[in-house]
Structure 1
């Protein structure tokens, strides 16, 4: 390799390095989000900045319209009366529900609403022994005698039935042998361990429409 070729190679390499540095700086600058608390949002100093806020979903504050989810969050370790409205357009995980921890990333508009482009939900898993729980077919066998009475039932989450809160039936459980199915109403948070085929233990009551209104959902031990 002659001297002229070496010089050209050095120049080309230098240009490539500069371009990579610029690209990384642009990408890094656009993707980074400042982590702030809900209490810090009251002054409006973060308007039009990319931020990340974590909080718990205010009970029954969420609505969905044309795949746009609107909800409020609060800081469980702070002043619970200070709340932030969040708007998120995109698919909502089945784990979303009342009091779930929502990690929201986006920009705050002039109206003080966080327009999130990213939404991650977290909920700790609950476990419970299923030995004293009724099967789905067993529960149905009691008929009207168990309507609106507290009871515990266990079953397997039917494939393809898991949805986010506010969408009607949250999921359907069935006996392992397929002897019975039961639609479940539940508006609170679900652990991300709850998936198709999970064996669950539910506490709640059966309503006159034949649906189980769950007050607690746990994974069977």
Structure 2
């Protein structure tokens, strides 16, 4: 409650800010050293156990109740190591209903084109794909590399539209950029549409007239 109003102001200011570049690939970095409290434990043989040797061999241990402070590095920063320009909007094929449902679940404002429209758009040409050999939470994560290329393209009515000038624009960008390390491409939502060498999303980099209606059903 003490900092609630300040936090609300900061969030509102962030929502109003124009997005330019956002991270797509991240790495964990140390934030600061923090002091934690460690309880000394004693194994059956009487040797003293500390955090430096607790995992070496299995022990039956008993707690001593003796609490000692120790320093521990807090790896609490996810720092962007690669960034990408934030477009005006993303366009998604109308058949990607699982993607649309996920965006709506996240609270992202989703629209559909009301008529066939030609845009100066960019497509992501895939150079390489790398799929994890080991499943994580039921998914074999996918990494795409490639390059955005400009071309005029005509999109049919019903194509999904996600504008970036919305409160959850940062989240929408992270979910939809093909190179995002934790987005919907990474989590296999687009796998059935990856037969071609072009990712099944397009981006409009500059403001454009878009005739679309808001999608409200998941």
TM-score tier by shorter-chain length is under 0.3
More strand by share: 2
State TM-score, norm by structure 2.
0.22
- How high is the TM-score relative to the length of structure 1? 0.22
Greater helix percent: which structure? 1
Choose 1 or 2 for highest CA Rg.
Answer: 1
Instruction: State the structure with bigger RCO (CA 8 A, min sep 6), 1 or 2.
Output: 2
